[in-house]
Amino acid sequence: MKLKIFRIILIIMLFATFFVIFGFSSQNGTQSKGISTKVTDAILSFSDKYKEANAKEKTKIRSRTNAVVRKIAHFTIYTILGILLMGTMTKTKLKIKWRVLITLGAGIIYAILDEFHQSFSPGRTPKITDVYIDTLGILLGIVIILLIREIYHRYVIKKCQETEKSI
């Protein structure tokens, strides 16, 4: 029963993540850049080097930092997607290899569709490099779930079995 409730929560979170990604992709170029610029400015407010730079250097630093912030955002949201996709596959009867392949395939397909969707938003263009970054995020999400699974089986299950033997 607990597993069923856990899986339902994961599925709700998964669809919420799909909607968040869809919402970000629906933004026009100005809106999207505005959000990432606010994040970039918040980060740069901690940099003494940025504060001391002249106007030309500040523009260059801000532009480079904004590009990195945007790529980190892609990577992060797709890592979450990978965790949730792989998490919903736990305790299925499929072998781990198939769970990983299905999760990776579904994540890549969604990343490609996301970039295609962006092409309909004014001022936005699809980028294959974003699909690569998204794929790396999905892979990290899968690895995180596999590590959690390994730790759980190695320590929690093993401790329960040792306790049962000693009784």
pLDDT tens for 34-93 read: 999 999 999 999 999 999 999 999 999 999 999 999 999 999 999 999 999 999 988 788
User: What confidence score (pLDDT) does residue 127 get?
Assistant: 94
User: What confidence score (pLDDT) does residue 166 get?
Assistant: 67
Does pTM surpass 0.85? yes
User: What confidence score (pLDDT) does residue 11 get?
Assistant: 94
Amino acid type, 106:
A
Higher pLDDT, 161 or 79: 79
User: For residues 24 and 78, is the Cβ–Cβ distance under 8 A?
Assistant: no
Q: For 121-154, write each residue's pLDDT tens digit.
A: 999 999 999 999 999 999 999 999 999 988 888 8
| Total domains in the fold of the chain | 1
User: What confidence score (pLDDT) does residue 92 get?
Assistant: 84
User: What confidence score (pLDDT) does residue 90 get?
Assistant: 82
User: For residues 91 and 153, is the Cβ–Cβ distance under 8 A?
Assistant: no
* Distances in whole angstroms, Cα of residue 60 to Cα of each of 55, 63, 75, 86, 110: 9, 5, 23, 39, 33
Structural domain boundaries enclosing 87 = 2-166
Chain length of the chain: 167
